[in-house]
Chain A
Amino acid sequence: MGLSTVTMIYAGMFYIAALVMAIGLVYKIVDYSRTPVPLKIPTTPAPTTRSGVIFRMAKEVVVFESLFKANKWIWIFGWLFHFGLLLVLLRHLRYFTEPVWFWVDIIQPFGKYASFMMVIGMLGLLARRFLVDRVRYISTPSDYLMLVLLIAIGVTGMLMTFVVHTDIVALKMFFLGLMYFDVQPLPQDLTLLIHLAMVAFLMLIFPISKLLHAPGLFFSPTRNQVDNPREKRHAQAGWAKQVNQTK
């Protein structure tokens, strides 16, 4: 029995998307880490120890501390979106693991309903782009399209979770097959095909889009530097190292 054309196209699409995303992200991360940081520029007050910096970064990543200080609306919508997305993504691990990890099972019911958090958050962010004159001014077409793409991914996913179920067992076989380089047939529901195509597209553009804010945060010198310039000489940055030792 041969595989359908659609299955072959989607298999190829996911291999390419995963490869582009992985290579693109590795390239970006290597590029960031190789670019020197010649000066101490933490936004102060800043932690004076490495462990303090880890705590500061953790607060930024988990509760969006700076955004909380800035604007409660963006914060609540942004946090609903990101935390919902996290639960949804973790729930999706069940389609890539056999047997399913126990904690993924625990998350499953939360992950299903987290999709509402995610979509509500994004609708709020989209509304701000139209309603707040300052945000409208800075929005580019890609800013709208990115939200629309993510909302569409969320909505098609919710449709399959709550309304028109797909053959989830066959879908899992397809993805496990991809992982073991043994391609299996993909269920051919329209909703699923749309959902998957958009996910693959999102993976494809990840390393060339503003989604780079995810790795970017970890490389942000204003957040990840220790405030100790009087105690420790910061003079190791590539090109500046030589400069800093000449009289």
Chain B
Amino acid sequence: MAAPVFDVPEIKNEIEIPKLREGVMAHAKTFPATKPVQDFMGYPHELPEDWKERAIDKMGDLLGKYRSLKVFLDACVHCGACTDKCHYYLGTSDPKNMPVARQDLMRQVYRRYFTTAGKLFPKLVGAKDLTQDILGDWYNYYHQCSECRRCSVYCPYGIDTAEITMAGREILNHVGMGQKYSNEILGKVQKIGNNLGLPGPALEDTLEGLEEDIEADTGVAVKMPLDVKGAEVLLITPSADFFSEPHVESLIGYAKVFHAAGISWTLSTHASEAGNFGLFNGNYETMRKVAMRIRDSAIELGVKRIVVGECGHAWRVAYSFWNTLTGIGYGGDDPFSIEFQKQLDPNYPQPQHICELTNDLIKSGKIKVDPSLNDDLVVTYHDSCNVARASRMGTEPGGQFTIPRELIKSVVNNFHDMADGTIGEATFCCGGGGGILTDDLLEVRVKGALPRATALNNVVKEHKVNFMAMICAICKAQFTKVLPKYGFDMSMVGGVHQLVSKAIKLDKAE
């Protein structure tokens, strides 16, 4: 299928709030999942006859399982605080991409079937019967949301559209309207071990190749161990790190850090993926199954620490959910979690982010770096949405902002932040997160990147920034693809550990 033609928005001096243009993104439909994909996930692949009952039943089921969904669908007063906060609205000007309008796509149905007011006076409160048109709207606009939570920062009741998008996608799956991209990936990660479908032998080859490259480059035999029993650290990283550019540069960075610090570590074939698309689809059981691969591998390999590589949503799942889902963490008092806690080294946070680990090693002088090796770069930092608004690093709130910046500043001499209101908790999503990093949604991705591109353009003009560092595999893939459309060079995009990799001093005396 040919990619739809569209205009790339023009970068202005400031991020502007556009006037509404109704229906301008109504054509953006992500490819539907096919029968084998849906079969594996246990979902129908086409609209069943009783689709309406199924959809309403599923909604009722989710309302009973998630307080967030119930409270969020009730509490909105249509104040409008969120209306100009979504990067997809700012980039497309389609009103259904305003967070509240996106929520209302579900809220109108919720009110009709689950509330007294909507049952009695549907017109008055904007309640509507579920129709195939509405399902179509859900399919389109719940795949124009990256679940980045920017709206939830600004909502006076903390309504998080991501929770509603997740529920929407889960309901769609139950009536046979799954998304090809996410559901294929969920199949691959469960069958093969990673989202890219890279089998064990291929992974082994890739890692050996990388070891040779590093040795050729530095003269030091830095290892990339795979499935090594008894290693201290199990590194869980997005599979893109194994062979996508610029991701692989960060993988090399992690390997050099472990080498220089003398920490024994290993990757795992079975858990060769940090990403967990179960999050995006709002299916708890799938998310847990995918997360359990990590616990299983950690037990099999007997590691004492679990460290997570540069991946935004993976860090959300790891930091916020692993303890709940799999017992990776502390404080559990049931046999399932106690059994695993006994294996872990209590001197470290579990799981630990690679930035926490590297930053600690540099600060304590256990590894040495020379920031002047990055003097060709003027660096800025893109806060990835899931790290910024759904996780933490270190012991203090906001450590997810300070620790990566501290780390960057210790390995580069030239650093400039982008404007307030576009970083930290207010950061703009790259435009490709939440399960929409697929070419069939390229228009949505390009337009959704407009706010970030605008903020980046300003530091490029003002400070001659030529490198945007980040800690997310999706951000890296998205930006290398869409920033060139705005006239930026794709080599501007890279990982924080790509910078570490250049600055780190390796011991050559072996």
Chain A residues within CB distance 8 Å of chain B: 28, 31-32, 35-41, 43-48, 52, 60, 64, 66-67, 69-71, 74, 78, 125, 128, 132-135, 137-143, 145, 205, 208-210, 212-213, 216-217, 219-223, 227, 229-235, 239-240, 243-247
Contacts and interface: CB of A to CB of B under 8 A. Distances in A.
Nearest to A240: B284
A62 to B, nearest CB: 12
Contact of B332 (A70, A216, A233, A243): A233
A138 B78 contact: yes
B117 interface: yes
Interface residues of B, number: 84
Contacts of B337: 233, 235, 245
Given A208-B117, A235-B324, A140 B158 contact: no
Interface string B376-409: 0000000000001111100111101100000000
Nearest to B98: A134
B319 A138 contact: no
Nearest to A137: B95
B82 interface: yes
Given A36-B66, A43-B158, A45-B398, A227 B284 contact: no
B124 A48 contact: no
Interface of B: 17, 19-20, 63-68, 70-72, 74-85, 95, 98, 100-101, 104, 115-117, 121, 123-126, 149, 152-160, 163, 284-285, 288, 292, 319-321, 323-325, 327, 329-337, 349-351, 388-392, 395-398, 400-401, 425-426
A190 to B, nearest CB: 27
Contacts of B152: 43, 222
A139 B20 CA distance: 14
Nearest to A28: B74
Given A67-B154, A209-B117, A229-B329, A41 B68 contact: yes
A146 to B, nearest CB: 8
A219 B67 CA distance: 8
Given A142-B125, A213-B77, A243-B288, A66 B95 contact: no
Contact of A138 (B80, B284, B325): B80
Contacts of A232: 323, 330-331
B75 to A, nearest CB: 3
Given A141-B123, A216-B74, A135 B397 contact: no
Nearest to A139: B78
A210 B81 contact: no
Contacts of B401: 45
Nearest to B156: A67
B160 A222 contact: yes
A233 B149 contact: no
A43 B323 contact: no
A140 B67 CA distance: 25
A51 B104 CA distance: 34
Given A38-B65, A245-B334, A229 B124 contact: no
Contact of B324 (A60, A145, A219, A229): A229
Contacts of A64: 156
Contacts of A234: 323-324
B389 A135 contact: no
Given A139-B78, A229-B329, A231-B330, A220 B126 contact: no
Contacts of A43: 149, 152-153, 158, 160, 389-390, 425
